Amino acid sequence: MAKKKAPETAPKRANNPNVMGLRPEVLEQPITQTLELNYMPYAMSVIVSRAIPEIDGFKPSHRKLLYTMYQMKLLGGARTKSANIVGQTMKLNPHGDAAIYDTMVRLSRGYGALLHPLVDSKGNFGKVYSRDMAWAAPRYTEAKLDAITAEFFRDIDQDAVDFVDNYDGSMQEPSLLPTTFPNVLVSANQGIAVGMASNLCGFNLEEVCDTTIAYLKNPDHDIMTTLKAPDFPTGGELLYDAAALSEVYKTGRGSFRVRAKWRYVKPENLIEIYEIPYTTTAEAIIDKVAELIKAGKVKEIADMRDETDLSGLKLTIDLKRGTDPDKLMARLFKYTPLMDSFSCNFNILIAGMPRVMGVGEILEEWTAWRMDGVRRRTYFAMKKKQDKLHLLKGLKRILLDIDRAIKIIRDTEEDAEVIPNLMIGFGIDQIQAEYVADIRLRNINKEYILKRVEETAALEDEIADLQDIVNSPKRIQKLIIGELEDVKKKFASPRRTDIIYEHEAEEILEAEPEVPDYPVHLFLSREGYFKKITPLSLRMSSEQKYKEGDGPAQQWEATNRDEIMVFTDKQQCYKARLSDFDDTKASVLGDYLPTKLGMEADEKALWACLPGDYSGHVLFFFENGKAARVELAAYQTQTRRKKLTGAYSDKSPLVCAFLLKEDLELAVHSTEGRCLVFHTAVLNPKSTRSTQGVGVMTLKPKYKLESVKPLGQTNIVNAARYRARSLPIAGALLKDVDRGEEQMTLL
């Protein structure tokens, strides 16, 4: 039976998903469309409205907080509770009170994250150099604007910047703050957006002002001559690298190193660290030092503690007797955050678009923006004077006949007709007529009116001067330079981060930990157990202990400072210092290399060698009959990398390897029972570690290369029978006499 057609009034699934018995339709949408419609607006909002600072040096959260405090009359006034400020700021920033208070903490003098704090704080605001020191709740702390913020709000009421509606349209807020100096370079700022980030370091205010003045006078000014290097509120020492800083100044990207300041207190035999890099915390340093002590890498430290108090940061290290503090600190700089890198990413919003810029470009953008602000401010002042001049010109007309003006007002019957009658009687416009009509009765005298009219000439001169400023970029630049000079005079402070030039830092930076040097004997088993034994210990007990089924594979004589390379079945090479291994005895199993070197699961050690000065070659022999001769220098690295991938070819399993210091003859055996003797000089060395090599022995499909030994270590009597004239070659069948086996005889 056919179903009846549903009436037109029946509910549709797509439009009515909640109708009983009906399931909503699932509409397919391409993932690209979903991202474009849903994710991209979110990403742009984070970039433009949250994470990336603008040319005034502020993110929206900073700007909203400072403007709210300015509106609360907290510039120069008494402090108020932080909770009060947070509540008022929510009129502009609806993202929650915790986020607003966190922003205030970072800008505060107590927290110390800025060279020139913007919030004058009272109470516990934590410390930038501490990870665990939490700040007090906003109901306990107090704050007001610091004096330097007057430079942000001087032109705020003079149309220097645009104002926009807040999130609900109930009030307006500035889109930027009209800073009188390049705050974007003075106040450090960091933000992580979607798909991009920003990390701006701070510079000394005096150096920034001098550089900006020099740039305004000469756009080709060499910035590095006046802007020496970044400056941090936590102090420390910046290791000056001219090339690295030049790259940062030009491109806005790059990094430089900052290290802690310390002093040695000789009577107590201790080290005091009193300034640390901006990028780390005291707790992170203590944790890392404790880790080094636990691992046995630092043995000169008896104790380390945090003695930070009201006078500032202080980390104290008690030294063991006989410790050289300079050498110890050189090691700590190398292995702990006491020396850290600051990575620069000068990403700034310019007209709503993120741009990574060098210092020169930032100054160019800031001066262009500031010149526009000064021009707008000057035009605003000129417009007000023009309006006043216009009123005074109307008043001058009245001066000609005051009695007539009084008569017109007295004879006018309706109030609404007073202004039109004055306009007709004296030939003035409505604004001038209203101004005249509002003059108080006691001021309708010649003396008052003459004084007002005398202002006309002075006003005209002032307006002409302001108009000239508006039309003259040179005069605007001169005004900006004057403001920069004033800012420098009021707020400049000495550098906190000292600059250490390369020749001063070289000795300490290159200092290496002292490793004792003494002879050792090395033993490697087939299962990958490694032992380092001193000659004295070996003389006392020379019988090596191995696991059941295990046995010796390689052994060497070396010194404790030598390096070892271990090759595995995963075509990887692990490098280690012999000093990293503990001295042991012959009666123990030793270190299990896969665990000691951090190998991958199921990875096994196949062969090891001592590279020495990396002269010579490594010979690899594979089951497919090929041999590869690789320069040992291919495994040498500038940095202390512990793992090299692609250490040899993965085309065929590795049979054996040799460290070749000088050429010799080798005997190659196959599972077919054939033997081949050749001289290693015929193999050309390669600089590529993963080279497949060249064919040495031709093999039938079911056979493979079995072993390789130096000819002198074999029992071959008639070597001429097996020598190859050219490679590859199948080799000759091995005779019994050359196997070294005794034949059975019948008695």
Instruction: Give a three-class secondary structure readout of 481-525.
Output: HHHHHHHHHHHCCCCCCEEECHHHHHHHHCCCCCCCCCEEEEEEE
Tell whether pTM > 0.85.
no
Can you give the pLDDT at residue 639?
A: 65
Q: What residues pair up with 265 in beta bridges, in sequence order?
A: 270
Homologous superfamily of the 365-491 domain (CATH): Topoisomerase, domain 3 (1.10.268.10)
Exposed (0-12), middle (13-18) or buried (19+): which is 633, by Cβ within 10 Å?
middle
Alpha carbon 745 to its chain's center:
81
Q: What is the DSSP string of 8-68?
A: TTSPPTTT-TTSTT---------HHHHIIIIIHHHHHHHIIIIIS-BTTS--HHHHHHHHH
Whether the per-residue pLDDT at 343 is higher than 60: the answer is yes
Closest CA to 627 of 649, 645, 642, 596: 649
Q: Read off the pLDDT of each residue in 46-53 and give the average, rounded to a whole number.
A: 80
Closest CA to 374 of 232, 488, 471, 491: 471
Q: Which segment, 45-49, 363-367, 611-615, 691-695, is predicted with the most confidence on average?
A: 363-367
Helix then strand then coil, in percent of the chain rounded to 5, is 35, 20, 40
Q: Rounded distance, CA 230 to CA 688, Å? A: 43
CATH 3.90.199.10 residue ranges for the chain: 52-179
DSSP H stretches of helix in 122-182: 150-153
Q: Which CATH number fits domain 261-337: 1.10.520.20, 3.40.50.620, 3.90.79.10, 3.30.1360.40?
A: 3.30.1360.40
CATH 2.120.10.90 residue ranges for the chain: 519-739
φ/ψ of residue 563, rounded to 5: -110, 150
> What secondary structure letter does DSSP report for 75?
B
Neighbours of 640 (CB within 10 A): 9
CATH 1.10.268.10 residue ranges for the chain: 365-491
Top-level class of domain 52-179: alpha beta
Exposed (0-12), middle (13-18) or buried (19+): which is 321, by Cβ within 10 Å?
exposed
Q: Which fold has domain 519-739?
A: Neuraminidase (2.120.10)
Orientation angle between helical segments 359-399 and 205-217, nearest 10 degrees: 70
**Each residue's pLDDT tens digit, 261-319:** 999 999 899 999 999 999 999 999 999 999 988 888 888 999 999 999 988 999 999 99
Whether the per-residue pLDDT at 395 is higher than 90: the answer is no
CATH 3.30.1360.40 residue ranges for the chain: 261-337
Q: Read off the pLDDT of each residue in 426-452 and give the average, rounded to a whole number.
A: 81
DSSP H stretches of helix in 205-274: 205-217, 242-251
Q: What residues pair up with 557 in beta bridges, in sequence order?
A: 521
**Each residue's pLDDT tens digit, 307-330:** 999 889 999 999 998 889 999 999
SS3 199: strand
Q: Predicted confidence band at 505 (pLDDT cuts at 50, 70, 90)?
A: low
Residues annotated as catalytic (active site), given as ranges:
140
Q: Rounded distance, CA 543 to CA 306, Å? A: 50
Q: Read off the pLDDT of each residue in 236-260 and give the average, rounded to a whole number.
A: 94
Whether the per-residue pLDDT at 22 is higher than 90: the answer is no
